[in-house]
Amino acid sequence: MHPRPSLPTLSILAALLAPPALAQQEPTSEYLCGEDRFMDQSMLESLLTGRWEAHLGAGYAIAGPTVIAHPADPDAHFGTLDKQEDGLVLIPEEGGVVLDLDWVTDQTWRFDREPSLPEGVQVANGTDLPILPFSSDEVGDLVGCDINELPRLVGTGAAVIDGVTMEFTYRLMLVSYKEFAGFQEVRATAHGIPVFERRPVMMILQFESD
């Protein structure tokens, strides 16, 4: 096993969700920023294998021309990040969608707290869309670099639920050696209507594999 670097007392994710005064700490995961600090990919993958706990926050869902709020999931989800021959795979416990994970280096990610909606989409009457828990700039300020300098993974998978094929995409930033922050996106077509869902996701490593 490769030794796992020590972590600050206050986790990155805790700081992201903390009140402003608490969140204004010095950058703590700067060792993850920039290609010159990006360790051998195989070694990094070995550090990330183990049991992970995921939390899905409040987001939104678009069905045709209408967008509605999507509440946070009150339950935590657990899965194992496994290093296989073709790369990293996230295998959920108790069924669910298996995600194949690929490293991303040639994409530029940007996001605000306010949801970014497609043109022509209208918010349903009486609906207040949730504000996201963090923006790309806030994550960058906390970790000490632009988020596009962090190691990033995109996970993809699909499942058929009630006859509808649902395509899942996870966009994850490694904000510390034990924490991911990012988004879950789901695309489907139900009864001829395109559906899109987006929610923030935070993942914490529970224990590493032997």
Per-domain boundaries in the chain: 12-20+29-208
- 77 sits in the region (left: phi over 0; alpha: psi -120 to 50; else beta) called beta
* C-beta separation of 201 from 12 below 8 A: no
* C-beta separation of 157 from 96 below 8 A: no
Confidence at residue 39, expressed as pLDDT on a 0 to 100 scale: 61
Q: Is 78 helix (H, G, I), strand (E, B) or coil?
A: strand
Q: What CATH fold (topology level) applies to the domain 12-20+29-208?
A: Porin (2.40.160)
Confidence at residue 94, expressed as pLDDT on a 0 to 100 scale: 81
pLDDT along the chain (210 residues), means of 10: 40 55 45 62 87 94 91 94 92 91 94 84 82 89 89 95 94 91 95 93 81
